[in-house]
Structure 1
Amino acid sequence: MPTFPRTAGVLAAATALSLGLAVPALAHVTVNPGTAEQGGFTKVAFRVPNERDDASTTKIEVSFPVDHPLAFVSVKPVPGWEVKVTEGKLPKPVKTEYGDLTEAVTKVVWSGGQIKPGQFQEFEVSMGQLPTDTDRLVFPTSQTYSGGEVVKWADEPTADGTEPERPAPLLKLTPATAGDGHHGTASSAPSAPAASSAPATPSVTPVAASASAADGTARLLGGAGLVVGAIGLVVGFLGLRRRPS
């Protein structure tokens, strides 16, 4: 039985060591989301964690690809940080649907702020039109710390799929799905209901009006009869008075 505690201790130490080695490997600069469709526009965030316990990240420099340049790049302001977008001449013109592209954004630098130990920051960029002749875009990035240390996240993806020591932020490009760019919108005008679905409007007969008219007619005829009867009485009375005694 004395070997059990020793074995448990060895396993615990090995587990702690493996976790300690795995955590720093996960704390690298990434692109989020990590995928986008070819030929379109997208918004991504460069997520930058601080790996140091005794220093803050004070500068981030992201290099944009020149072999697959992006014609449109815009950045979202980050409170406390200054941003500088650098454009440069391309090694050779690139044909796009907007014409030959001879210059494009080659670098974006954020500086002046702080990412303190135990924190991370996201730097958002809108960009396009994404190329259709490649399945990925790589953005080599330099991370500068307040102590002067510069960490370069610039390793290309490996052929066997294993993660390199300091991988560059990677945006995977997937084929555009059918029908993209033709998003249907619902009509704002409501459709006319079918004749059979709408309840038929009942024909309303003005019963009260008819009854009132009939009642008025009866009263008129009754009054006329009374007048005729009265005239007859008067005529009869006068005739009696004129008869000789």
Structure 2
Amino acid sequence: MLRVLGRSENADSVVDQILVSVGTAIVEARLRPGDDLNSVELARTFRSSRTPVREALLTLEREGLVEIAAHRRPRVRRLSLDEVREIYELRATLYALVSQRIVENATESDLNRLRDIQRQQEQAATAGDVDRYFWLNVGFRNNEASIAGNTTVSRVLDSLGVRILQLRHLSLSAPDRLASSVIDHRRLLHAYEERDADLAAALSRSILRRGLAAIEHSGWTGRP
């Protein structure tokens, strides 16, 4: 979670502990859109003043996971389905570009990184471990963006990705989604190995479309 939020993974401050706890609970749907975030209760839980709680929640607000309104408790941000569709449309376009760049730029060492994550994803899928599979999938996508070598695209994807992490988790929680996701990523990795840029781009777009379809079929409304 700290890496996803662009913070040092070695940090161990109270702010980072709160970020990990609240952010992960939102992503894994233990906190739902519209749920209140009680600053006093969080301060008590982490045995801190309200200052680090406020800093953590402000960070989550900047990343689009929390909304803070005047004279109201902070709460988990809602995303409308139309907003989700727009974000997925943009992500599909950007990841198609990322996949093309991977075909052009990836070294054998880069591909080995993706192969290793894919092996772990397959193990998590076999075990039916949605949470582990999800975070490995986040790592797969982050590594793709890094290998592609376009820092501007990476920054845009990071800004979009954090906002819909909980939606990506929801998508992978749908029945049979882990199995189909494993197959999709196996085919994508094969396209990288074969240096087929057009196929890799098409597969990336298809993976994003499948993810959006799973959200749409889940009945997501953005409301609690």
Q: Which has the higher contact order (CA 8 A, sep 6+)?
A: 2
Relative to the length of structure 2, the TM-score reads 0.21
Q: Which has the higher strand share?
A: 1
Between Structure 1 and Structure 2, whose CA radius of gyration is higher?
A: 1
Relative to the length of structure 1, the TM-score reads 0.20
Q: Which has the higher helix share?
A: 2
